Amino acid sequence: MTQLINELFADKEPSKESIDSFIEAHEFPLVEPGRVTFVYRGAGDEVILRRWISGHSTARPMTRMGQSDLWALTMALPDLSRFEYKFEVVSQGNRHLILDELNDVLAHDPFGANSVCQGFGYERPDWTFNDEESRSGTVEDYRFHSPAFGEERDIQVYLPARFRPSRQYPLLIVHDGSDFVRFAELKTVLDNLIHRLEVPPMIVALTNSADRLGEYTCNDKHAQFLAEDLLGFMESSFPLMGEPTARAVMGASLGAVASFHAAAKYPDKFGRLLLQSGTFLFTDLGRNNKGEALDPIVSFINKYRSDPWKIAERIYVSCGVYESLIYENRSLIPVLQSQETLINFEEARDAHNWENWRDRLRSGLTWLLPGPLWMVYE
């Protein structure tokens, strides 16, 4: 246990006032180089730290300190790490997952909120915060007909500040675009990076799917929608640069698979890919154990690995070391490199979540579509 906890309980059972003072005097969790201490205060028969990570034990029991209502757990944590968690409180046979009330750092996703552990040295990047000096782009709603799906489709389009119809812009297509805006601060990041000349002003198509498991799992109709329907609508509606190297597609998790698959099916359409924590499942021996719904991914990735072809000029790939997909992402890199594709692969001490993907946006976007500031160093 950390020295601060040990000192509190060193001589005798501390009073309620002593514990109150201890809680008031510190920020939680208690972060030190190479380790972190979690503290929970409340009644319970058992308290468990539940970490949203893969490849490691996600449950760690906490220790009740003496006869008090204070529970603590000290664990090793590599510097610069970040992960999300909740406390599981067991009382009279009932189990409840709750946020860490002593920690006001929260992360949000479509399922709710989690408490965040920020290891020693981790800082949220400054370019993910709203900057009053950055001019704000606009996001507008559009609808168009998709022959691939035989229906109307809704998208949102980000136009950069000082947009001019007389200019031509690169295009970025984002899977799960509204979630990237809501949970990964994509609009703020774009505003900041464009203002700082780290990426060029660009037009961004924000797409969403009501059937991600059907459309994002190497679905040929979705690839056609992306490369023909959506791209055709964007080219007819906005002043875009024409060359494939000025067209990028990105996504996270299944969205990364959908981006990869579309580029592989239409290798002349997209010259840049940004793939985050991709579900690039494959089998060398045995069968896929992730469920039948993901079998199309396994089949396609197996095919690509056995006979790869060049699908883009530049590809940025990122993945967290605390997620189960790190093996699949690492395995894809040499296959892509064999096709003389320029690859930038980044591993993060984080897991499968939106803020991991947020924190990688600058390195991914500036490498794929460098602005004037970065072009000096090209």
Q: How far is CA 254 from CA 64, 213, 257, 325, in A?
A: 41, 8, 5, 11
Cα dihedral 257, 258, 261, 262 sign:
negative
Q: Following DSSP, what letter does each residue of 43-70 receive, concatenated? A: --SEEEEEE--SSS--EEEPEE-TTSSE
Report, as an integer, the average pLDDT of 211-220: 97
Is residue 96 within a helix (H) or strand (E), and if so which, with residue range? Answer: strand 94-98
Report, as an integer, the average pLDDT of 138-161: 98
Inter-residue contact 283 to 302 (CB < 8 Å): yes
Tokens 């006869």 belong to residue: 67
Band the pLDDT of 179: cuts 50, 70, 90: very high
Architecture of domain 3-118: Sandwich (2.60)
Provide the pLDDT for residue 247.
Answer: 98
pTM over 0.85: yes
User: Model confidence over 40-99: pLDDT tens digits?
Assistant: 999 999 999 999 997 666 899 999 988 889 999 999 999 999 999 999 999 999 999 999
User: Model confidence over 291-330: pLDDT tens digits?
Assistant: 789 999 999 999 999 999 999 999 999 999 999 999 999 9
Q: Give CATH superfamily name and number for 126-375.
A: Alpha/Beta hydrolase fold, catalytic domain (3.40.50.1820)
- Joined tokens for residue 171: 């295009």
300 phi and psi, to 5 degrees? -70, -45
Inter-residue contact 245 to 271 (CB < 8 Å): yes
Residues of the chain with CATH 2.60.40.10: 3-118
Check residues 14 and 8 and name the one with the higher pLDDT: 14
Residues of the chain with CATH 3.40.50.1820: 126-375
- C-alpha to C-alpha distance for 338 and 335, rounded to whole angstroms: 5
Residue 290 confidence (pLDDT) above 80: no
Burial of residue 313 (number of CB atoms within 10 Å: 0-12, 13-18, 19+): middle
Inter-residue contact 216 to 145 (CB < 8 Å): no
